[in-house]
Each structure stands twice: as C-alpha cells, then as structure tokens.
C-alpha cells in the first residue's frame, strides 16, 4: 500500500488516505455525469441542485484528501521536490519559447504557478503550526516573496 509507505507507518493515516482516495474515485464519475445532465437540462432546478451538491461534496473530499496527504508528507521534502519541479518547468518553458510552442509555454507556466501556490499553502500551514517567532517570521517572509512572484506568472 503506497499510503502506508509514505505515512511513516501510521496505519490510521494510511487507511484514511485510502478511504479518501476511494471516495474521490467514486465521486468523480458521478460529478461528471451530473455536469452532463446539468448541461443537457440547463433549465432544470433539480439537475442544478444535484450538480452543486455533488460538486460541494467532491470539493470537501478533495480538501480532506489534501489535508491527509499534507499530514503524511514531510514539508521540507515536499518544498525541495517542488522547487526542483519548478526549475524543470522553467527550463521547459524557456525551451518552448525558443521553439515557438505557445501551448507548451502556457502549460509549463501553469505548472509552475500551481506548484508555487501549493508550496505557499504548505509553508503557511507550517508557520501556523509553529510556536517559534523567528521561524514564523522567516517562513511568512519567504511565502510573501513567493506569493509576489506568482502574481507575475498567473
């Protein structure tokens, strides 16, 4: 089980991750189908309400899964890996510009922005959980710098 390997041996966390993943897997086709029905019957209040209920349930389930993943993941390792991936996407973006491939440039820029936003969320979570004022100040400053740089690319 992948979740057990990444959760530091915490069986409850691994089980919660597996259950959450299963719920997302189950909700995904339901949400897609509800969206299709909503598009087909755009005047139907019942179709609209059903879609919105499933969308909200899906969003809550994804948020819960993200929180469980954050709990199972070492924040420092995640941030280092994200930095490496952002550097890779930067290289690919520059390559796409040189080869005049606008869609690849946009795709890689979007990947950088998503990774940066996720790093900001994880760093702020670490800051919120800390009692060390120096650490909090340094992390908050770093997230502010990163946040300001993402405005340029988003």
Superfamily in which the 74-153 domain is placed by CATH: Alpha-catenin/vinculin-like (1.20.120.230)
Above pLDDT 90, what percent of the chain? 75
Query: Any idea where the domains of the chain sit in the sequence?
Result: 8-72, 74-153
Strand, helix or coil at 131? coil
In tens, the pLDDT along 45-76 reads 999 999 999 999 999 999 999 999 988 999 99
> Alpha helices, DSSP H only, in the chain?
2-6, 11-40, 45-72, 75-98, 102-129, 133-153
In tens, the pLDDT along 89-129 reads 999 999 999 999 999 999 999 999 999 999 999 999 899 98
CATH of 8-72, one of 1.10.287, 3.90.660, 3.40.50, 3.20.19: 1.10.287
Q: What is the pTM of this model?
A: 0.71
Cα(139)–Cα(119) distance, rounded to whole angstroms?
A: 11
Q: What is the mean pLDDT of the chain?
A: 90
Cα(48)–Cα(138) distance, rounded to whole angstroms?
A: 46
């Amino acid at each position: 089980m992948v979740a057990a390997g990444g959760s530091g041996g915490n069986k409850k966390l691994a089980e919660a991750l597996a259950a959450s993943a299963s719920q997302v897997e189950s909700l995904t086709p339901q949400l897609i189908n509800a969206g299709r029905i909503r598009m087909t019957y755009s005047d139907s209040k019942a179709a609209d309400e059903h879609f919105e209920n499933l969308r909200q349930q899906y969003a809550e389930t994804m948020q819960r899964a993200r929180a469980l993943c954050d709990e199972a993941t070492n924040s420092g390792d995640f941030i280092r890996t994200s930095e490496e991936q952002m550097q890779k996407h930067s290289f690919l973006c520059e390559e796409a510009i040189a080869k005049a491939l606008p869609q690849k440039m946009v795709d890689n820029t979007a990947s950088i922005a998503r990774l940066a936003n996720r790093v900001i969320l994880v760093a702020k979570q670490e800051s919120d959980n800390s009692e060390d004022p120096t650490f909090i100040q340094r992390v908050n400053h770093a997230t502010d710098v990163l946040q300001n740089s993402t405005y340029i690319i988003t």
